[in-house]
Chains A and B, each alone.
Chain A
Amino acid sequence: MIDNSPEFRIKKAIGTTVMLLLVTFAALPTLWALLLAFRAPDAVFEPIWESPLKLTFDNFFNITRSDFPKALMNSFITAGLSTVFAMLVGVPAGFALAKSRVSGKFIASWILLLLRMAPPVGFVIPLFLLYVNAGLIDTYAGLVFAYMTLTLPLVTWSMWNSFSQVPDELIEAAIMDDASLTKAFLLIALPAARPGAVAAAILAFLVAWNDFFYSLIITRSDTTTAPVAVMNFISFDSVDWASIAVASIALTLPILPLMAIANRYIVQSLSGAVKG
């Protein structure tokens, strides 16, 4: 149906305007950061129209000489490992929760939800005390383990949901087809829940990647992650805005392709990937 009445056109125009305003509002900080990243240090605080050509790549070279690349690598390692481990444990756990007939699932779901809802500050103090005694402060193992308090409940919870959508008959058919439970899980249930698994992995990675708080408390210098390392550009007497802008771009770029993949799979996993 095409509505060409003036009334509808006005409504549509208002809608479009509001949407554009919101998009601009959301995109402005990103655009600003992009602009800052290319501005010469002395032009950072000048309005762009006064010196539009004071653009430079120096900021990018400067940052490679700082600690930031190492912090970025730390972020990759810790977010990556905590995602891998969370998947290794959480995917089978989600399968068990979705398909086994044991009682007590309610308690399990309650604890999982609690873990997901509870603020990190609730975990970080006991973890810190534990780590001080165990010598895990400023280690990869410590940080990965801490991130798993975020990623494991997330993966388990979402895989529970994904596996619930895989029909029981599919697994029963595999068992009738000579498969052991492990094989039925690996060969049949997991591929059927693949969109959910991809989405869960990406979301887990992003949670760890974006973390600031755990890293701030648990790391010192060796394993500092990128979000915390950004703070190093704020010194006692000055703030290196250009470097912060470059750093935030470096933090955002790697997750853009992930977001693109996640977008597709999250929609798929929400719409029920396994249909007759």
Chain B
Amino acid sequence: MTEVKLDRIGKSYGSVEAVQQFDLTIREGEFLVLLGPSGCGKSTTLRMIAGLESITKGDLMIGGTRMNDVDPKDRGVAMVFQNYALYPHKTVFDNMAMALKLQKVPAAEIQDRVGRTAELLGLTDYLHRKPAALSGGQRQRVAIGRAIVRTPDVFLFDEPLSNLDAKLRVKMRMELQELHDRLGATSVYVTHDQVEAMTLADRIVIMNGGVVAQVGTPREVYDRPADEFVAGFIGSPAMNFLDLMRDDTGRWITECGSLVLPSLPVDAGARRQVRLGVRPEHIAVTAGGQPQGDLDYQAEVLLDELLGADALLSLGVGKARLLARVGGTDHPVQGDRVAIALTAAQLHVFDADTGVALRD
């Protein structure tokens, strides 16, 4: 019933196009995450769905009805804001009851609905406090409660966790996940945090410069990034990129010849130049080992950083630099000679000019 359909939606401010040709159907009950760097148009897209921003091009359909010119309140959507946007002079109860009061819902029902929502979110003891007397996590729960209490068809979240400290963010992320499992409402969630996107999303929309770069499940965007931007944006630390050139014998080598690939895992067509992508976690490092296979190389550890469970090694293969992620115990350290092995199936190849991923 409450499917959200964005039909080639666009937003322009004068001659600046903030969002271009956004084309997507958000399925009923789906948790969709809009992910991208700041200024990529993800918040603008969300605000267009909410009705806080006008739509300059295309059609927005919620539950089969065109909503372009419908007031925010009549769209059946509720929004959770980044800075909570709680009414500072109202108590937690009044914050959550505001929408119901404006809808002229009977007082007894308001009491009941706010009560149940507060219980769901563990806010029962705080109903008579003002927002200023709450912690960051509690405020965010009130903001979520204010959205839930209206029983909207679609939930919109605008970076709801980015004001919380790291520890609380993980906790609230899990709470949000449980909440969505319980309520099952269609949700659109904007974030620039890839961990939030990967963990919460049924599907991720990655945006760049007002354009959708890729739509896919977390698995898909990680395993099969559509282009260089997505490949570099998803994954931490970011993917290594190397420029490769084809020599006369058909081998692919880096500019200064440090790294040689006998062939590419995909068909590069007539291209003489491509960009190779290798995720840090896909580089197998053996201390003191000797290169054996085609994709094995001798490397030197230039820098090692221990993160705890893992360690990051900055490797020098001739003049090429690669970042590798290895286990945090007994890992090679600065100055060690190591052998590294790449796996053909885990290599990504991109067009050197357009950045589009090459696939067979």
Which A residues form the contact surface with B (CB < 8 A)? Answer: 167, 169-170, 172-179, 183, 187-188, 191-192, 194, 274-276
Contact = CB atoms under 8 A, between A and B. Distances in A.
Contacts, number: 61
Given A176-B77, A177-B146, A276 B83 contact: yes
B78 interface: yes
Contacts of A174: 87, 98
Contacts of A183: 102
B24 to A, nearest CB: 22
A192 B103 CA distance: 22
Nearest to B77: A176
A169 B85 contact: yes
Contacts of B85: 167, 169-170, 172-173
B73 A175 contact: yes
Contacts of A274: 88
B84 A178 contact: no
Interface in B166-199: none
B81 A177 contact: no
Given A169-B81, A276-B163, 10 more contacts: A167-B85, A170-B85, A172-B79, A173-B146, A176-B52, A176-B72, A176-B99, A179-B98, A183-B102, A194-B89
Given A169-B82, A172-B52, A276-B84, A177 B89 contact: no
Contact of A176 (B50, B84, B139): B50
Given A191-B89, A192-B89, A177 B99 contact: yes
Contact of B83 (A169, A177, A179): A169
A99 to B, nearest CB: 13
Given A191-B89, A192-B88, A176 B83 contact: no
Contacts of B86: 173
A180 to B, nearest CB: 8
Contacts of B82: 169
Interface in B131-151: 132, 139, 146, 150
Interface string B35-64: 000000000000000101000000000000
Given A169-B82, A183-B102, A276-B84, A175 B89 contact: no
Given A191-B89, A192-B89, A172 B81 contact: yes
A175 B72 contact: yes
27 contacts: A167-B85, A169-B82, A169-B83, A169-B85, A172-B50, A172-B79, A172-B85, A173-B79, A173-B85, A173-B86, A173-B146, A174-B87, A175-B73, A176-B50, A176-B72, A176-B78, A176-B79, A177-B99, A177-B150, A178-B99, A178-B102, A178-B103, A179-B98, A179-B102, A183-B102, A192-B88, A194-B89
A242 to B, nearest CB: 49
B97 to A, nearest CB: 10
Contacts of A191: 87, 89
Interface in B109-143: 132, 139
A167 to B, nearest CB: 6
B73 A178 contact: yes
Interface residues of B, number: 25
Contacts of B98: 174, 177, 179, 187
Interface string B206-250: 000000000000000000000000000000000000000000000
Contact of B73 (A176, A188, A192, A275): A176
Contacts of A172: 50, 52, 79, 81, 85
A176 to B, nearest CB: 5
Contacts of A188: 87
A52 B77 CA distance: 78
Contacts of B99: 176-178
Contacts of B103: 178
A268 to B, nearest CB: 12
Nearest 5 CB-CB pairings of A with B = A169-B85, A173-B85, A177-B99, A178-B102, A178-B73
Contact of B87 (A170, A176, A178, A275): A170
A255 B102 CA distance: 40
Contacts of B132: 275
B274 to A, nearest CB: 45
Contacts of A187: 98
Contacts of B81: 169, 172-173
A188 B98 CA distance: 10
A86 B225 CA distance: 60
A104 to B, nearest CB: 16
A183 B98 CA distance: 11
Nearest to A172: B52
B91 to A, nearest CB: 13
A274 B84 CA distance: 13
B219 to A, nearest CB: 33
Contacts of B78: 176
B156 to A, nearest CB: 9
Nearest to A192: B88
A239 B83 CA distance: 64
Highest count of chain A CB atoms <10 Å: which of B73, B88, B150? B88
Contacts of B89: 191-192, 194
A269 to B, nearest CB: 14
Contacts of B50: 172, 176
Highest count of chain B CB atoms <10 Å: which of A176, A187, A194? A176
A169 B79 CA distance: 10
Contacts of B52: 172, 175-176
Contacts of B73: 175-179
A208 B52 CA distance: 41
